[in-house]
Amino acid sequence: MAGAPYERGRGPAAGEQLQQQHVSCQVFPERVAQGNPQQGFFSSFFTSNQKCQLRLLKTLETNPYVKLLLDAMKHSGCAVNKDRHFSCEDCNGNVSGGFDASTSQIVLCQNNIHNQAHMNRVVTHELIHAFDHCRAHVDWFTNIRHLACSEVRAANLSGDCSLVNEIFRLHFGLKQHHQTCVRDRATLSILAVRNISKEVAKKAVDEVFESCFNDHEPFGRIPHNKTYARYAHRDFQNRDRYYSNI
């Protein structure tokens, strides 16, 4: 994710550029009008920005989900740079964050992320999108099935559908509950960035669900909690060492 190696594939055509701005506008309206957020001296005085930066740093250094994803991105030729590829900004509505494919940047909504656990989930979720962007030619803006697949993977692998989170949402006790949660969260994520009906979003999720739900890369398993994520990170490191010695 450092510079050119991260920004794979051809540049957007004129029509795609317009559609990219339309999509970004739904989630990050200030990005289109103002460009990159101010990074000057006075930005350090804003408490929400300071908190966002500190939480991000702690997530990058300590969270096992994120540490695995960072290693996987680097292994795939898309090394992540904190200052280049993350941006703490104010966002409209209740959006927590997003992956801006046009700039290869993860946006963290500093006005909507209020604790460390939330930051951990958002960074993990968006890094899964970044990983998909790195390893595959994802057509984020015109192919809703591609978007649906990445949203299914992000909901499945980020811990967003953990038992603790679902109990907090008062959602529990259903048969195949994890799968139901993944479908619901993926559908909601699509609706946040596409001006389509819920039926169309659900149809896209249903069409890709089986293959994308069973795609566990780079974890190799569904990391239901931090312990699972630590095991997955250890296995990834061992696998990487094995192949480097062949």
The enclosing H or E element of 80 equals none
Q: How many CA atoms lie within 13 A of 198 on its CB side?
A: 4
Backbone angles phi, psi at 61, to 5 degrees: -90, -25
Hey, what long-range contacts does 233-238 have (CB within 8 A, 24 or more apart)? 233/64, 233/67, 233/68, 233/71, 236/68, 236/71, 236/72, 237/71
Contact 96, 113 (CB under 8 A): yes
Catalytic residue among 89, 126, 151, 166: 126
Residues 64/39, Cβ–Cβ less than 8 Å:
no
Structure tokens at 222: 């569904």
126 annotated active-site: yes
Residues involved in catalysis = 126
